[in-house]
Amino acid sequence: MTYDLIVIGSGPGGYSAAVRAGQYGLKTAIIEKDSRLGGTCLLVGCIPTKALLHAADMWDFATHSAEQGITIDKPVLNYPKVIERKNGIVSKHSKGVEFLMKKNKVEWIKGFGTIKGPGKVEVQTDKGTQLLETKNILIATGSEARMLPGLTPDADRILTNIEILNLQAVPKSLMIIGAGAVGVEFASMFNRFGTDVSIFEALPRIVPVEDEEVSKELERLFKKDKIRVETGAKCDQVQKTATGVKMKVTLANGKVEDVEAEKLLVAVGRAPMTAKIGLENTKIRSERGFIFVDEYQQTDEPGIYAIGDVVAGTPQLAHVATRQGMIAVAKMTGKPTTPIKRNRIPGATYTDPGIGSVGLTEAQAKAAGYKVKVGKFPFLANSKATILGSHDGFVKIVADEKYGEILGVHIIGPEAFELISEAVTAMESEATVESMMATIHAHPTIYEAVGEAFQNVYGLAINI
Ligand SMILES: Cc1cc2nc3c(=O)[nH]c(=O)nc-3n(C[C@H](O)[C@H](O)[C@H](O)COP(=O)(O)OP(=O)(O)OC[C@H]3O[C@@H](n4cnc5c(N)ncnc54)[C@H](O)[C@@H]3O)c2cc1C
């Protein structure tokens, strides 16, 4: 039997592409090595973390509600129940992906896929090995947590995103190596659950891909919440002890310190899962496992496409994987499509407060030669933020002085990960600072802070 498309990997990239292929009437199969569909994002990434972060928000409310005139007598954190709820959300949505495969007539093949050459995929299943033929192959095999050299994760003390999601009790203390999105989200979550959290980052600032002012604000707020933040810090000599884990940290000032905690989370980035998928049987170009593609996700081997976390040069985000899947399937079926615009990819980080960003940071815009104008507005001056009791953070607009082009928008504050959508839509539809200044924002909303930040590109915000 010959397929039109075989997708390898059922993360947000692979399963969405399979659905789209089904919608276009392609005879499609999806190969997944795990027993459940959904990939990193659904099973051990975006969804379970956000479920636990929501529980942290609820716990925060339960323990601080007296400030709002609501007294909750001795709230109790039933953490196993929190984990059970998170597992329920994951299972429900994984079943949802199964349903989508059936609805769109996508065949789910359970096993490990290896490319044997153009148009040929071998699957190792429980029942043996099968060789499948197909017109197109889509590599969507995603990524896995990187480890520090010599370290192996275990279920108890040295953890990656997988193990930490299944702890049955809130740890007393937690060290985190790496302050990218994954590291800071777990820091924010466990800090609110009552863990003593320290976070160590080798680079000079936390959330290093964000605008510098956003990094500074998050660090300030983390420290206010008693999270220990060490940037420019190098960690080594990690060892398990009788009660936890210890390691040596060389701090930014050169001082070497022994640090110890009950658990260690290693969040130092994600490596592409391409080692055993048969790239050597193709003309595909790759570097350190990352696959090179053109703007339509085509690899150097005709008929083989790659999307998501395995792709070189695009951020490892679920919505990027999904969009790349749409582009790849459109391309292989001759449908019109537009490549991803690198500066219009939103990022969403669910710390407390959250971060939402899109486009160039102020430093990147200046380095690119723009004459930059910045408009900022603090949530302190936004009435809805006062109502929510969430005053920290700001909206920052990075614009080009010449034509009022919006180059980037950076938000740290309440619901920042939702607010950023307005900026993405504005940039995608080529709105200018002027047209955003004329856009009416309903009152009282936190969106008004976005409108005010646009006004403030010209020093015209009303409420500060
Ligand atoms: C803790 C954490 C939180 C995150 N939170 C967010 C977030 O809030 N928002 C966001 O946008 N992104 C988030 N991400 C990133 C996001 O999860 C990834 O960018 C996304 O999952 C990538 O999708 P993908 O389709 O490329 O691959 P994946 O989701 O990694 O899926 C790949 C699938 O391929 C399967 N596979 C691999 N090799 C084979 C093979 N040879 N044969 C068969 N199957 C195979 C794997 O088992 C897996 O199911 C988070 C990541 C982590 C770790």
Cis amide prior to 149 (ω within 30 degrees): no
Helix or strand run (H / E) with residue 133: strand 128-139
Cα 11 to averaged position of ligand 1 atoms, centre (Å): 5
The per-residue pLDDT for range 275-324, each reduced to its tens digit, is: 999 999 999 999 999 999 999 999 999 999 999 999 999 999 999 999 99
pLDDT for 87 beyond 80: yes
Give the chain's count of helices (H) and strands (E). 13, 24
- Asked whether the beta carbons of 9 and 140 are under 8 A apart, the reply is yes
CA atoms within a 13 Å half-sphere pointing along the CA-CB vector of 384:
13
- 284 three-class SS: coil
Q: How far apart are CA 423 and CA 432, in angstroms?
A: 11
Please, are residues 18 and 101 in contact by the beta-carbon 8 Å criterion?
yes
Looking from the CA of residue 15, the nearest atom of ligand 1 is 25
User: Does the beta carbon of 113 sit less than 6 angstroms from any atom of ligand 1?
Assistant: yes
**Is 443 a known active-site residue?**
yes
Q: Which residue is closest in CA terms to ligand 1's atom 7?
A: 46
Give the mean model confidence (pLDDT) for residues 225-233. Answer: 98
- How sure is the predictor about 155, in pLDDT bands with cuts at 50, 70 and 90? confident
Contacts of 211 (CB under 8 A, 6+ apart): 357, 361, 362, 363, 396, 398, 408, 410
What average pLDDT does range 321-341 have in this prediction? 97
Average pLDDT over residues 63-86: 96
The answer to whether the beta carbons of residues 305 and 293 sit under 8 Å apart is yes
CB-CB contact of 400 with 362 (8 Å): no
Q: What angle do CA 138, 313, 427 make, to 5 degrees?
A: 100
Q: Is the pLDDT of residue 1 over 80?
A: no
- Strand ranges, E, within 140-184: 143-145, 158-159, 173-177
Any atom of ligand 1 within 6 Å of the Cβ of 182: yes
pLDDT of residue 405: 98
Per-residue pLDDT, averaged over 175-187, amounts to 98
104 Cβ closer than 6 Å to some ligand 1 atom: no
Distance CA 65, CA 215 (A): 28
CB of residue 356 inside a 6 A radius of ligand 1: no
Residue 183 in contact with ligand 1 by CB distance below 6 A? no
Smallest CA separation from ligand 1 atom 53, residue = 45
**Can you name the residues that pair with 106 across neighbouring β-strands?**
28
Distance CA 152, CA 181 (A): 22
- Predicted local distance difference test score (pLDDT) of residue 55: 98
Q: How confident is the model at residue 194 (pLDDT cuts 50, 70, 90)?
A: very high
CB atoms within 10 A of CB 35: 8
Q: State whether residue 423 is helix, strand or coil.
A: helix
- Full-model pTM: 0.97
| Ligand 1 touching residue 14 (CB < 6 A) | yes
State the distance from the centre of ligand 1 to the C-alpha of 8, rounded, in angstroms. 12
d(CA 212, CA 333): 42
Q: Give the residue carrying structure tokens 């033929």.
A: 133
Encode pLDDT of 385-443 as tens digits: 999 999 999 999 999 999 999 999 999 999 999 999 999 999 999 999 999 999 999 99
The CA distance from 464 to 459, in Å, is 10
Q: For a substitution probing ligand 1, which of 6, 40, 185, 324 has the most ligand atoms within 8 Å of its CB? A: 40
Average pLDDT, the chain: 97
101 — pLDDT class (breaks 50, 70, 90): very high
Angle at 203 between CA 202 and CA 207, to 5 degrees: 110
Least confident segment among 149-163, 254-268, 348-362, 368-382:
149-163
